């Protein structure tokens, strides 16, 4: 694949990873991903970010289609996680740049990960400007979006934002621009990415969007380091509006019932909870977490505001996949949820109460006592599950209509 011209001597020179299915080892990526890197030709030629180490030859080949890599004067490392900086040692060795720009935390992390001896590292301050000839770059720190070193680079004259992880999506395709791609697939990829990576930092997303507005930044192009590039006013508006929605997490009229079952009793309880939700008109999805990765629950949460979790008890605990779902969900800090817990048991039966307590600790508004079934579930226990679903559904409808 050739380099792709974005505008005025600004090129995409990154790599497409069609086979990636386990993004960062914590989130499934069924559509693959990309490691976008960008090259700007000016009096000083600048490379923005590199690629995963596996793709360094592709990066060098694409750069070579535009210029000899040794002509690169500056390398900007917006973020040093290995999907973007994994090939930086080789690139520095080949390009011998005059300067490598990064944030103050970026320098610390680069030095900890790579042999940076002799590198011409220049630490940029938040808001610092750099002239490269006809253009000026402004560097804006975006700490914790999504690592402490993260920053973005804005090409003032061209109104291009190299946004690094922010605004990314896990999509692998030969197409580079959002306007060439199917909108429903794009939206799903944006949500999956946000809910599994960016979600805990939503307050910082809002702060950054607010800062962009206050600075009066205009965008002709928003070019993230994963996935497709936004280049039309309609698509850029869609992106920013979608980010506000994902960051604020308004209540949505959908529920998730996720369960893990040893011998099928907890599964029956899950379906009875679903019947209860349906009885009050709340759409729901049921997820067997033994058959689905924990990121599937986060993907579904992008469209849901009720979370009902259930597990059998084994050795005084919920089952291990459910424990993984709880840990993953808790760390990603979703907001504005109602929920409940259930689970079957044959011996001691702690899991439903433990899940209930975990939901409370996550800030979920738990609207009913946990429902337990001794073996069964018998008729009364199924009725209790139905009632749990009904109560969660009614509470959610109240939130949505408030
Ligand atoms: Fe795309 Fe934080 O790495």
The whole-number average pLDDT for the span 61-78 is: 98
Q: How far is the CA of 17 from the centre of ligand 1 (A)?
A: 14
- Strands, E, within 217-301: which ranges? 221-224, 255-260, 284-288
State percent of the chain over pLDDT 70.
100
pLDDT higher than 90, residue 48: yes
pLDDT higher than 90, residue 295: yes
- pLDDT tier, 334 (very low <50, low <70, confident <90, very high otherwise): very high
Tell me how far apart the alpha carbons of residues 245 and 284 are, in angstroms, rounded to a whole number: 21
Q: Is 8 exposed, middle or buried (0-12, 13-18, 19+ CB in 10 A)?
A: middle
Both tokens of 286, joined, read 């049921």
Name the residue among 295, 171, 275, 361 with its Cα closest to residue 286: 275
Q: Is 143 exposed, middle or buried (0-12, 13-18, 19+ CB in 10 A)?
A: middle
pLDDT higher than 90, residue 330: yes
Q: How far is the CA of 81 from the centre of ligand 1 (A)?
A: 5
Q: How far is the CA of 88 from the centre of ligand 1 (A)?
A: 14
191 CB near ligand 1 (under 6 Å): no
What is 237-248 written as a DSSP string? HHHHHHHHHHHH
Query: What is the length of the chain?
Result: 402
pLDDT higher than 90, residue 19: yes
Q: How far is the CA of 385 from the centre of ligand 1 (A)?
A: 41
Tell me how far apart the alpha carbons of residues 305 and 256 are, in angstroms, rounded to a whole number: 8
Give the count of alpha carbons within 13 A of 213, CB side only.
10
Tell me how far apart the alpha carbons of residues 344 and 267 are, in angstroms, rounded to a whole number: 9
Atom of ligand 1 nearest to the CA of 146: 2
The whole-number average pLDDT for the span 354-371 is: 98
Atom of ligand 1 nearest to the CA of 35: 1
Q: What is the DSSP letter of 81?
A: S
135 CB near ligand 1 (under 6 Å): no
Atom of ligand 1 nearest to the CA of 165: 1
Residue nearest to atom 2 of ligand 1 (CA): 81
pLDDT higher than 90, residue 340: yes
Give the count of alpha carbons within 13 A of 219, CB side only.
24
Residue nearest to atom 3 of ligand 1 (CA): 81
Mind telling me the catalytic residues?
A: 24, 79, 81, 83, 146, 165, 193, 226
Atom of ligand 1 nearest to the CA of 82: 3
177 CB near ligand 1 (under 6 Å): no
49 CB near ligand 1 (under 6 Å): no
Q: How far is the CA of 325 from the centre of ligand 1 (A)?
A: 22
Atom of ligand 1 nearest to the CA of 79: 2
81 CB near ligand 1 (under 6 Å): yes
pTM: 0.96
165 CB near ligand 1 (under 6 Å): yes
Give per-residue pLDDT as tens, 87-146.
999 999 999 999 999 999 999 999 999 999 999 999 999 999 999 999 999 999 999 998
The CA distances from residue 93 to 14, 56, 70, 86, 346, in Å, are: 18, 12, 9, 13, 63
Q: How far is the CA of 338 from the centre of ligand 1 (A)?
A: 31
The CA distances from residue 15 to 50, 52, 352, 386, in Å, are: 9, 8, 46, 50
58 CB near ligand 1 (under 6 Å): no
| Average pLDDT over the chain, rounded to an integer | 97
Atom of ligand 1 nearest to the CA of 226: 1
Give per-residue pLDDT as tens, 166-225.
999 999 999 999 999 999 999 999 999 999 999 999 999 999 999 999 999 999 999 999
Q: Cβ distance 93 to 112 under 8 Å?
A: no
79 CB near ligand 1 (under 6 Å): yes
How far does the chain reach from its first CA to its final CA, in angstroms? 51
149 CB near ligand 1 (under 6 Å): no
- Strands, E, within 109-266: which ranges? 121-123, 129-131, 136-141, 151-155, 160-164, 221-224, 255-260
Residue nearest to atom 1 of ligand 1 (CA): 165
Q: How far is the CA of 307 from the centre of ligand 1 (A)?
A: 28
pLDDT at 1: 80
86 CB near ligand 1 (under 6 Å): no
pLDDT at 69: 98
The CA distances from residue 298 to 86, 224, 231, 328, in Å, are: 27, 22, 28, 9
């Amino acid at each position: 694949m050739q380099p792709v011209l974005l505008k005025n001597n600004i090129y995409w020179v990154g790599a497409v990873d069609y086979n990636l299915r386990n993004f960062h080892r914590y989130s499934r990526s069924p559509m693959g991903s990309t490691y976008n890197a960008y090259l700007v030709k000016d009096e000083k030629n600048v490379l923005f970010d590199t690629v995963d180490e596996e793709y360094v030859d592709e990066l060098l080949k694409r750069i070579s289609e535009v210029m000899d890599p040794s002509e690169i004067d500056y390398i900007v490392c917006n973020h040093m996680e290995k999907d973007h900086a994994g090939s930086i040692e080789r690139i520095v060795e080949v390009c011998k740049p005059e300067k490598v720009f990064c944030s103050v935390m970026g320098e610390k992390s680069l030095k900890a990960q790579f042999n940076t001896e002799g590198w011409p590292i220049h630490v940029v301050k938040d808001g610092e400007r750099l002239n490269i000839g006809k253009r000026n770059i402004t560097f804006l720190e975006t700490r914790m979006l999504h690592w402490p070193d993260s920053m973005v680079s804005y090409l003032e004259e061209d109104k291009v934002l190299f946004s690094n992880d922010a605004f990314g999506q896990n999509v692998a395709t030969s197409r580079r621009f959002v306007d060439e791609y199917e909108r429903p697939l794009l939206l799903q990829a944006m949500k999956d990415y946000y809910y599994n990576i960016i979600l805990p930092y939503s307050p910082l997303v809002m702060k950054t969007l607010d800062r962009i507005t206050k600075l009066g930044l205009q965008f002709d192009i928003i070019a993230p380091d994963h996935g497709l590039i936004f280049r039309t006013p309609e698509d850029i508006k869609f992106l920013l509006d979608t980010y506000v929605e994902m960051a604020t997490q308004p209540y949505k009229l959908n529920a998730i019932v996720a369960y893990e079952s040893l011998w099928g009793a907890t599964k029956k309880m899950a379906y009875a909870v679903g019947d209860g939700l349906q009885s009050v008109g709340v759409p729901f999805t049921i997820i067997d977490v033994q058959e689905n990765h924990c990121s599937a629950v986060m993907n579904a949460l992008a469209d849901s505001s009720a979370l009902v979790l259930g597990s059998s008890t084994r050795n005084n605990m919920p089952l291990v996949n459910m424990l993984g779902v709880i840990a993953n969900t808790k760390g990603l800090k979703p907001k504005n949820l109602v929920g409940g817990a259930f689970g079957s048991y044959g011996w001691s039966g702690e899991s439903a109460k433990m899940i209930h307590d975990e939901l409370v600790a996550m800030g979920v508004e738990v609207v009913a006592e946990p429902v337990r079934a001794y073996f069964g579930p018998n008729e009364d226990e199924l009725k209790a599950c139905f009632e749990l679903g009904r109560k969660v559904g009614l509470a959610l409808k109240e939130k949505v209509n408030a």
